[in-house]
Amino acid sequence: MNRTIYTPAAGRAFICALISSIVLLCTPAAWSHGFAGKRFFPTTLVVEDPFVADEFSVLYRHIKEPGEEVSGPSVRNDSLDVEYSKTLSRQWGVSIAGQFLNLHTNGGNKDDGYSNVEVGTKYQLYTSAAHEALLSVGINAEIGDSGNASIGVESYSVYSPAVFFGKGFGDLWDNHPLLKPLAITGVIATNFPSKTRSNTEEGPVRNPITVSYGLTLQYNMQYLQSFVRDYGLGAPFNHLIPVVEFDMSTCTDRGCKGDTTATANPGLLWFGKSFQLGLGAQIPLNHRTGDDIGILALVHLFIDDLFPHSLGAPLFGR
C-alpha cells in the first residue's frame, strides 16, 4: 500500500534531494564499475577481473618461495604490485603495471628492485544483464629488460593473449535461493616468450611457453541482502564478499613440459562506492610452488566512480 506524505513544496524538494543522494551514495546497483545487470564483480586478489574499467590497484604480497634450484635456499618475497587501467571506450581499455620486490634468501643475500613493466589491453566482448555474464579478450606484454637486473628480470619479452569471463548465479537455482549470490570469474592465457633461448652466466637457457589459468568462487553478501532476502546485516557485513581464488601455471615445452605451480587464495573483500579493500592468504598446492603460506592485502580505487566526468570517463564515446 502506497502512502502519500503531504508537505510544503520546499519540504518535498528537500526530501526528494536527500533520498536521491542517499540512493546514489549507498546503492551499489547505481554504480558503473564491474556490473552485469544486478551482479557486481569485484576486483579479486590474484586472478584478473573480466571487465573493462578505470581503476588503480596496489597489492602487497608476502610469501616464502622455493629457490630456483630444488635444493637451493628459499627466498622471502615482499612485493608491492601497482596497476593502473584506463578506458578508451566503454568496452575497450588499456593498462600498465609493475612490481617492486624485496628478496631475502635464507643464505643472507638481499636484493630489491623493480620488475619488468607490463602493458595490456582488454576488450569487453559480451555483457548480459539478464544472465549476469561477462566475456572479454585481451593481451598483455611484459617488456624485457625494463626492470632491475639485480632481482633477475628476464631479458626477453613475454606476450600473453587471454580470455576472461564472469558469471553470476542469480538467474539459476530458483529452488535454492541461497546459491544465487554465488558467482565465478576466470581467465586463461598463453604466454609466448619473444626468444626461445637466453644466455646466462651458467650457459644458454631455453624459454618455455606456459599456460596460465585462474578461477574465483565468490559470494556477494550485498546481493543476498538486496535480491534474495534481507537478513538485517548492517555495515560492514552487507558489503562483504568471501572469495576463494585458484591461480595456476603450466609449462608446455622446452624441458619443463607438465611442470605446474598452483596456489589457493582464500580471502575476504569489502567494497564501497569508490574503493575496495581485500585481505587473503596464498596457500601453495604442490611442493613445486612451495611449503609456506603467504599474505595478500589489496587497496583498490574505482577511478570511474571517483571522477566520473573527468579522469574516470572513457576517452571516446562518453
- Residue 14 confidence class, pLDDT cut points 50, 70, 90: very low
| 102 and 110 Cβ atoms separated by less than 8 Å | yes
- Does the pLDDT of residue 126 top 90, yes or no? yes
Mean per-residue pLDDT for 219-224?
Answer: 97
pLDDT of 32 reads: 56
**Considering only CA atoms, which of 127, 154, 161, 174 is closest in space to residue 32?**
127
Three-state DSSP state, 170: coil
- Residue 205 confidence class, pLDDT cut points 50, 70, 90: confident
Q: What amino acid occupies position 264?
A: A
pLDDT digit string, tens, across residues 148-158: 988 889 999 99
pLDDT of 1 reads: 40
pLDDT of 73 reads: 73
Three-state DSSP state, 53: coil
Least confident piece of the model among 22-26, 138-142, 259-263: 22-26
pLDDT of 173 reads: 81
pLDDT digit string, tens, across residues 45-56: 999 999 999 999
22: CB partners within 8 A, 6+ apart: none
17: CB partners within 8 A, 6+ apart: none
Three-state DSSP state, 232: coil
The mean predicted confidence, pLDDT, of the chain is: 88
> What secondary structure letter does DSSP report for 225?
I
pLDDT digit string, tens, across residues 273-316: 999 999 999 999 998 899 999 999 999 999 999 999 999 999 99
pLDDT of 305 reads: 92
Give the C-alpha distances (Å, rounded to integers) separating 114 from 80, 214, 229, 269.
10, 25, 47, 27
Domain spanning 28-306: CATH superfamily: monomeric porin ompg (2.40.160.40)
pLDDT of 44 reads: 98
pLDDT of 7 reads: 44
C-alpha grid cell, residue 75: 627466498
- Does the pLDDT of residue 196 top 50, yes or no? yes
Please give the Cα distance from 1 to 153 (Å, whole number): 67
